[in-house]
Amino acid sequence: MRIRGIRAVVTGASRGIGAALARELGRRGAAGLVLAARDAKRLAGVACELRGMKTQVEEVAGDVAWPETAGRIAAAAEALGGLDLVVNNAAVVNEPADLATIPDEEWRRIFETNVLGAVRVARATLPLLARARPGCLLNISSYWGRAGAARFAPYCASKFAIEGLSQSLAEELPETIVCAVNPGVVATDMLATAFGGDVSGYTSPEECARGFADLIESLELADSGRPQTVE
């Protein structure tokens, strides 16, 4: 899939991997981007940068955990005139804790964003992606979506769910590229929350975004359903 000229959705686009990927897509000539995130002020800053690159940008300030946000994202994509790529990046992580101490409310919080958020955005945008031939739906997973980690059961379970969702949708949608993508260990605010310390020694969001964009440009329909990793 060539990035130049595409129209794409990126959720969780106000910071970290999402913001860096949005900027990289703009640098590589994406025609239009729908950027979605909870933090309206930071989102506006990213959008302003991209407009400086002559990229058409639609902003959706909202939480993907809210059911109405997916519809707003799809409407914004319609305003771009179509859609070629969706990157379900928005996610939250639990504070490290043993299973016995994690309440149901925390499980619901993680799954509402990480799983149902991705499901709703996919459901709302797939009719647009179906016109692209092939459209591409990339659901951000994690190393912890392929190998569990102690004290992060809710987050790990949510990312294992993303892997299964992606494989199921790949079977269901033979004309659309659908993959779960492990971005690697990236120095984001989320990683700092998880590790509780300095994460500056890990891959930067910008380096991850360059690898992610290279991955996008390498994808073909034959790759659908195969778990991907950013190198």
CB 88 within 8 A of CB 106: no
What is the token pair recorded at 129? 């992606």
Residues in contact with 23: Cβ distance below 8 Å, sequence separation at least 6, in sequence order: 46, 49, 50, 206, 209
CB 191 within 8 A of CB 199: yes
CB 63 within 8 A of CB 38: yes
Q: Is 202 a catalytic residue?
A: no
Phi-psi sector, 225: left (phi>0), alpha (psi -120 to 50), beta = left
Determine which one of 111, 144, 152, 155 is catalytic.
Answer: 155
For residue 186, the 8-state DSSP code is B
Give the separation between CA 209 and CA 124, rounded to whole angstroms: 25
Q: How many CB atoms lie within 10 A of CB 110?
A: 24
What is the token pair recorded at 35? 């950027």
Angle 117-129/67-80 helices, nearest 10 degrees? 30
Phi and psi at residue 33, to the nearest 5°? -135, 135
Closest CA to 186 of 76, 59, 115, 91: 91
Enzyme catalytic residues: 155
